[in-house]
Amino acid sequence: MENFIITLLIGSLVGVIFYKLKVPGGMMVGAVVGVSIFNILTDIAYMPIEGRIVAQMIAGAFIGSGLEKSDLKRLKNIFKPIATILIALLILNLVVGFIIYYISPMDLVTSFMCAIPGGMNDTPIISGEMGADSAKVAVMQFIRMVFGIGIFPSMISKLSKLEQFKADELENESYERKTIIDNNSKNLILTLLLAITFGTIGRLSGIPAGTLVFSMAGVIGLKLSTNRAYLPKWIRRLAQVLSGTYVGSGIVYNDLLEMKYLVGPAVVLILGYGITCIFVGTFIHKKFSIPIKDSMLACTPAGASDMALIAADIGVKSADVIVIQVIRMVVVISVFPQIISIIASLIG
């Protein structure tokens, strides 16, 4: 018990430091870094599996509570672009995953999970449940997120100024996303109870990532039927610390030495997402008459909350980008792990 408390305190402290330093995904990244260093030096870091389970339930609930009725209404207008993006991302996930598998010593499931276009906070805990190396997945997802937030938007802004895009840029009516939040304690308790109940059912089901997926599905049902789903950001931070602490507590010195094998896979990952962002974004722009900035941002490997901030910075007014990112997250987290599990079991 003492080791657990010390481990959690270190994860929380370093997580807060990284968060204050504005490191992307700082709470989780800081917890991973702090606890992994502590474990390498002392070999006493400890986080029970229940910590990961709770983190999955909260992560699923948070994703579910972020979906709005207006998103589903808007879906009929942007269904084809979303379908195109999801198919492209699935193909990218599988292709890059296979390449990583062949150029590195990582197993197939870990390779696929390194390349999955999920979230920095959600993917590592799903990976652990699927038997993948969650430490390596966390590193690769962090690299993807840093490039998605820090590099890709600048690249998109510059590309959008090219003559071939200026010539056919259209002024579309901007869609404004309607967000409804009823932030009272009763709704918080109801959301948590629903997440725990459905998350437990999901865990017992034996479905890959079932805890997170069922928790998310239950809260989505609550949000769409009553608009009462609510989770404050501090609970999300708690889940990030629990997840990061769990990942960090499993990292030993040999894992640190093996990080050198991630250089090649990281390059492949960034090139894959960069090429997809440009070519699929351009295709969607041409095919569906969506502004080039919107279409490329929709293909960018970052989260909906990040996109909300980035989009405004580079002059994107429509909320379609955010809606697409929310739908992408829901589908990727719930469907892609199942596909990866099936492929891995078939290949053996």
d(CA 58, CA 225) in angstroms, rounded, equals: 20
**pLDDT tens digit at each of 348 positions of the chain:** 889 999 999 999 999 999 999 887 788 889 989 999 999 999 999 988 888 888 889 988 888 888 788 777 777 888 999 999 999 999 999 999 999 999 999 999 999 999 999 877 778 888 988 989 988 998 998 888 878 877 787 888 888 777 665 555 555 555 565 666 667 888 999 999 999 999 999 999 888 778 888 998 999 999 988 888 888 888 888 888 988 898 889 888 888 888 888 999 999 999 999 999 999 999 999 998 888 888 888 888 766 556 655 666 666 666 677 778 878 888 888 899 999 999 999 986
Cβ atoms 280, 297 nearer than 8 A: no
Residue 276 CA to residue 40 CA, distance in Å, equals: 38
3's enclosing H/E stretch is helix 2-20
List, in order of start, the domains of the chain with CATH numbers.
2-169+193-347 (1.20.1530)
For the whole prediction, is pTM greater than 0.85?
A: no
Question: Of the candidates 78, 149, 72, 148, which has an alpha carbon nearest to the alpha carbon of residue 295?
Answer: 78
C-alpha angle 240-246-251 in degrees, rounded to nearest 5: 125
Phi-psi sector, 25: left (phi>0), alpha (psi -120 to 50), beta: left
